[in-house]
Amino acid sequence: MTHQHRHLFAAVGIHPHDTKDCSEASLSRLQSLASDANVVAWGEIGLDFNRMYSPQEKQERWFIRQLEIAAELKLPLIFHERDSRGRLLEILKTVPDNQRQAVVHCFSGTESELAQYLEMGFYIGITGIVTIRQRGESLRRMIPSIPSDRLLVETDAPYLTPSPQRNKIRRNEPAFVREVLLKVADVRGEAPESLANQVWANTCRLFRLAL
């Protein structure tokens, strides 16, 4: 599909939820897909101890294996982290790689985790959670401390529909990323246009897009 639409790109990877079914065979299939020029990242990979759709041991094993593969392919990473109680950061420290480029997508961590991600040079992906009154409270507090050259916005569609669409339309869609950007600009006290330009530049830099 990415070949029919000039502005669509893809990432490949086994999500932590699905690591119970992961194998070297499935990863080598993804490795061959990754040779396509429209595949610009490896992910989502990471740890999710909130839903526990796969056992912790499998999540960790296949997360580490995919870090190795992405490093060989020199692809930036998209991390999914939810309630990993510090394990994601511990693993990243035991598998160091000073070339590692990544976004912590749908960031939902603590201030200390945010500081460590930034220290590691990662980008921080903000979703519609920022627009949600209660759930977005701590995120809104942390957003001003993210350097502008490390900020990305996203929807995580079809999940996490931002306000105000949240009240009328249940399913999230990519067009609603606008609401995320507007809220982030508001929280940071920045003009939406200049923030949009900055986020665009960050996106192109991380995924090495020449648009």
**The sheet that has 151-153: what strands, in order across it?**
10-12, 39-48, 77-82, 102-105, 123-126, 151-153
Q: Should residue 126 be labelled a site residue for Zn ion when binding is judged by CB under 5 A? A: no
Which of these, 89, 116, 107, lies nearest to 151 by C-alpha position? 107
Q: Which residues contact 178 (CB under 8 A, 6 or more apart)?
A: none
Q: How far is the CB of 4 from Zn ion (least distance, A)?
A: 25
Q: How far is the CB of 98 from Zn ion (least distance, A)?
A: 25
Number of residues that bind Zn ion (CB under 5 A): 2
- The residue of the chain with the least Cβ separation from Zn ion equals 80
Contact 52, 83 (CB under 8 A): no
Q: Should residue 80 be labelled a site residue for Zn ion when binding is judged by CB under 5 A? A: yes
Cα separation of 74 and 41, whole Å?
Answer: 9
Q: How far is the CB of 174 from Zn ion (least distance, A)?
A: 15
Cα separation of 152 and 118, whole Å?
Answer: 13
| Closest CB to Zn ion among residues 80, 183 | 80
| Closest CB to Zn ion among residues 161, 185 | 161
State the residue for tokens 């065979």: 25
Cα separation of 163 and 165, whole Å?
Answer: 5
Amino acid (1-letter code) at residue 114: L
SS3 103: strand
| Closest CB to Zn ion among residues 50, 148 | 50
Judged by CB under 5 A, which stretch of 30-38, 44-52, 115-123, 133-141 contacts Zn ion?
A: 44-52
| Closest CB to Zn ion among residues 82, 188 | 82
Judged by CB under 5 A, which stretch of 55-63, 77-85, 113-121, 186-194 contacts Zn ion?
A: 77-85
Q: How far is the CB of 74 from Zn ion (least distance, A)?
A: 23
Q: How far is the CB of 71 from Zn ion (least distance, A)?
A: 21
Instruction: Count the Cβ atoms, other than its own, within 10 Å of residue 38.
Output: 13
Judged by CB under 5 A, which stretch of 64-72, 78-86, 96-104, 194-202 contacts Zn ion?
A: 78-86
Judged by CB under 5 A, which stretch of 39-47, 107-115, 166-174, 198-206 contacts Zn ion?
A: 39-47
Footprint of Zn ion on this chain (CB under 5 A)?
Answer: 44, 80
